A and B are shown apart, each in its own frame.
Chain A
Amino acid sequence: MTSRRDFLKTTAAGGLALSLPAGLLAAESTPSKSEVVVGKGTASATIPKIIAKLGGMAAIFKPGARVMIKPNMGFPNPPEWATTTSPEAVYTVAKLCLDAGAKRVVICDNTLHDPEFCKQKTGIADAVKDLKGVVIFTPRSDQPNLFEEKTSDKAKYLVKTDVVRELARTDALICLPIAKSHSAGGVSFGIKGLMGLIRDRGVMHREMDLHIAIAEQLYYFKPVLTVIDGSRALLDNGPAGPGKVVELNTFAASIDPVAADSYGVSLASWFGRKCEGKNVRHLAHAAKLGFGNVESGMITEFSV
């Protein structure tokens, strides 16, 4: 027999479910499963294998394409701090792109600190200096000429933003984030990392709901591949460190930016708390907007 309390509970839950916004329905219309390929080992050995499992770079872009890689390189910290993408991972992905016939690989980030220091201290400049066809491009917020304004009708907060001009010439955008915690965003993976391609990030903190605005960046950027650099993870004090770092030696790749990030979240405990992709507000919102799958049930994992 149903008690009145139970009845009220059920009704409330049902009502809540019905009142969920239409975005959830949109999520259902996306492919029901997003493949995330996961491998353990060194970057140079693992990343080529997981990309091959995804169908190789040939499935991502055509030969002759201009490819943009977005790593984390905004801090002049050594790779051991796990605040920036490991140089080995950047090298490996850039090399894969070149081998797949990319005409030009642009490693692009709007660095928080002085770009020259960031390029040197992260080791990324050294790692790719021998690769012909790879350039590191660091447009900064006070160089408005390097950005162009874009608008979106669908976004609630991020209705307009200046994105890096280089993007217009880019055929394929690859996110290559390090796994790290973030004081404001919770965690910082590929989608949060897209903030390195826009000019005015301040306005997202100042006038918008940050988490929704982060998700709404996907109206402007269409990453065709996300490779999570889980060689190390910064568990707290992110994004700048220094904080607690663990060596995971795990790499994950997916063509679904939300699924890839969501898998990254499950790799470790952030700020001392275990959580899943759906617990990260900006990821949950990105899924709600239909940019990918956040529920771990939809994620297929391979191991190389």
Chain B
Amino acid sequence: MTFIASRKIIGSFAALAFGVTALTIVFGRFFCGFCCPLGACIDFTDHFLFARLRTKLPPSSHPLHKLKFLLLLGIAVAALFGVIFPLFFDPISLFARFLTVFVHPIVPLVADQVKQVPFLADRFSGSGDIPLFYGALGIGTLFFLVIAGGVRERRFWCQYICPSGAFLGLLSSFAPFRRRVHDAQCSECGACSKLCPTHAIDEKGFRATSTAECILCGDCIGYAKGCGGFAFSSPGNPASRILKPDIGRRTTLTGIAAGVFLLPLLKASAMSKRDTTGRLIRPPGAVPEPLFNARCLACSLCMKACPTNAIQPCGLEDGFSRLSTPKIVPRIGACEEKCHLCGAVCPTQAIRKLPYEEKQFAKIGTAVVDRHRCVAWEQNRECLVCAEVCPYHAIDAKSEPTTKGQFNVPVVVEDLCIGCGACEHECPVNDTAAIVVFKFGENRRESGVYASETRKREIIERRNRSGSDAAGEGTESAGGSSGQSKGESAEGKPTPAAPSSNGFSF
């Protein structure tokens, strides 16, 4: 789906995808039965919980099987229009998201408490932020609903909803490797049909199997030894007939129509025309936004990898189609200078894998000082924490005339700023920071480098400049001209990049 939406085949991810596809054509939905982590989780909870809760017998008919094909078609049509919306429906990213948001924080949260026990504290000196995420309630509810389908019957999600399962099901419509009944041993008891978690076995005669539904779990052959098995079978074998997938002309048309009607919801939200907040800051290395939307699976691997918890799932404020896709919220955490794990883990390269040498030029936004909130600009207080934490030397501590007199204040050098948000994160002004990163100036590329060699050299040189270099004075010159304190300043002279500090009094 990602490939369709982004109109591009993505490296290693493609190898995996095509591998699974080829195997499925031969072996059927083995992935659902043996590989899918969500399927495993569903089976697990079923075994220990839902199997005991279910009182009703599973329904004998299964008209809802076609629902998943409907969804698949709808999503495929949307993908043709460049929209990918795996959020609710892709089982892998659904599961990964659950792990990130609910399982991943458990150890740090427990460790945080353990560290307070004096005896244990030394053994758990590990540190780091406790990863917590926006939208946990929604993500949790969604996952809970998927699992809770087990109240009705086994593998509810896999049978009726999972569009990935539907896709694999279509591929395996003629799978040569499938269930075969050993005629001589079959007593036509029908146990196989009743045991089948996906209702893939014909209820009359029990010989035919719907390969689009069968997940090769083998429950049917475990009941009585020798009455059936799995083998390569010719298409016409009467002991191994194929039931066609439950998808007719009507389903197809409805699915396509559904896809078209999904478009306004997913793509044509006003947010996609114009971003009015400018706060949708994508992780560094993110490809241009339309392509990003097409590629991102919202699998949350980047959020889990981020050491500072800066990457958060988008909420509704960023548009419905962007739900749960990653954005950087500097107030939660800043993008760490020497880290680029998000790009390294992204399976679809919606976030490019960049070496550090390149990442320091992948600008994701620009910091803006709100002079009316800044305690240095507005209240003439000693602060400059933003300049202190900036890893890119993009905030100058300048002596400037403020409303209350000459004072050392932060001034952003826009072309050195990369938008990492260290300043916003550490700004001591409560709630909304006095220095805020907006996405303007972001530099996003699908491939290639982020700046020319000359430009890179210039930027590095300026980032490594020393205050004395900028002021053009020797180191040991006592009483250097840039030294000033308490508002007395060299009026009219160009202000040096890093003047003396207000921390001195002479």
Contacts and interface: CB of A to CB of B under 8 A. Distances in A.
Given A272-B477, A282-B503, A237 B338 contact: no
Contacts of B375: 205-206
Interface stretch (A29-37, A52-60, A93-101, A179-187): A179-187
Interface string A169-199: 1000000000001111111000000000000
Contacts of B480: 269, 271-273
Contacts of B466: 235-237, 242-244
B500 A272 contact: yes
A217 to B, nearest CB: 15
A219 to B, nearest CB: 20
B336 A271 contact: no
Contact of B478 (A187, A235, A273): A273
A143 B309 CA distance: 13
Contacts of B307: 114, 116-117
A165 B127 contact: no
Contacts of B475: 235, 244, 246, 269, 272
A112 B475 CA distance: 28
Interface string B110-153: 00110110100110010111100000000000000000000000
B130 A236 contact: no
Contacts of B428: 201-206
B125 A136 contact: yes
A135 B122 contact: yes
Given A139-B127, A184-B503, A272-B467, 19 more contacts: A104-B122, A106-B122, A116-B128, A117-B338, A136-B125, A145-B112, A166-B121, A183-B384, A185-B382, A202-B428, A205-B385, A236-B467, A243-B498, A244-B466, A269-B475, A270-B504, A272-B473, A272-B500, A281-B504
Contact of A206 (B122, B127, B383): B383
Task: Pick the 9 closest A-B CB pairs, nearest first.
Answer: A186-B503, A202-B428, A272-B480, A236-B467, A210-B382, A273-B483, A138-B127, A271-B500, A205-B383
A203 B388 CA distance: 16
A285 B506 CA distance: 14
A263 B112 CA distance: 39
Nearest to B334: A113
A240 B125 contact: no
Given A271-B482, A281-B505, A140 B468 contact: no
A273 B474 CA distance: 10
B448 to A, nearest CB: 28
A182 B499 CA distance: 11
Interface string A204-220: 11100111000000000
A243 to B, nearest CB: 5
A275 interface: yes
A271 B475 CA distance: 8
Interface centre among A137, A239, A272 (most CB of B within 10 A): A272
B391 interface: yes
Interface centre among A181, A211, A236 (most CB of B within 10 A): A236
Contact of A240 (B390, B469, B483): B390
Contacts of B393: 237, 240, 242
Contact of B471 (A184, A272, A275): A272
Given A117-B339, A142-B129, A201-B428, A184 B384 contact: yes
A183 B339 contact: no
A237 B467 contact: yes
B308 interface: yes
Contacts of A104: 122
B15 to A, nearest CB: 32
A146 interface: yes
Contact size class for A? 35 or more
Given A205-B428, A210-B382, A236-B467, A271 B498 contact: yes
Interface centre among B334, B375, B391, B430 (most CB of A within 10 A): B391
Interface in B35-73: none
A76 B336 CA distance: 9
A135 B125 contact: yes
Contacts of B505: 279, 281, 284
Nearest to B479: A273
Nearest to A210: B382
Interface of A: 76, 104, 106, 112-117, 121, 135-140, 142-143, 145-146, 165-166, 169, 181-187, 201-206, 209-211, 235-237, 239-240, 242-244, 246, 269-275, 279-282, 284
Contact of B467 (A137, A244, A275): A244
A270 B501 CA distance: 9
Contact of B503 (A106, A138, A140, A187): A187
Nearest to A244: B466
A157 to B, nearest CB: 12
B453 interface: no
A142 B308 CA distance: 11
A213 to B, nearest CB: 9
A185 B501 CA distance: 7
Contacts of A184: 382-385, 388, 408, 501-503
A121 B503 contact: no
Contacts, number: 195
Contact of A143 (B112, B391, B463): B112
A165 B115 CA distance: 10
A205 B382 contact: yes
B503 A275 contact: no
Interface centre among B121, B308, B339 (most CB of A within 10 A): B121
Contacts of A165: 116
B308 A273 contact: no
Given A113-B391, A117-B307, A269-B476, A145 B116 contact: yes
B389 interface: yes
23 contacts: A113-B391, A113-B422, A116-B127, A116-B128, A143-B112, A166-B121, A183-B388, A184-B382, A184-B385, A184-B501, A185-B382, A187-B503, A204-B428, A205-B383, A236-B498, A237-B498, A239-B388, A271-B498, A272-B471, A272-B475, A272-B480, A274-B476, A282-B503
B498 A183 contact: yes
B354 to A, nearest CB: 17
Nearest to B474: A272
A166 B116 CA distance: 9
A65 B505 CA distance: 40
A114 B113 CA distance: 20
Contact of A280 (B463, B467, B503): B503
B434 to A, nearest CB: 9
A273 B500 contact: yes
A112 B388 contact: yes
A167 B466 CA distance: 37
Nearest to A234: B466
A187 to B, nearest CB: 7
Contacts of B337: 76, 113
A16 to B, nearest CB: 15
Contacts of B454: none
B391 A240 contact: yes
A279 B483 CA distance: 12
B429 interface: yes
A104 B112 CA distance: 20
Contact of A272 (B129, B383, B408, B482): B482
A114 B501 contact: no
B381 interface: yes
Contacts of A145: 112-113, 115-116
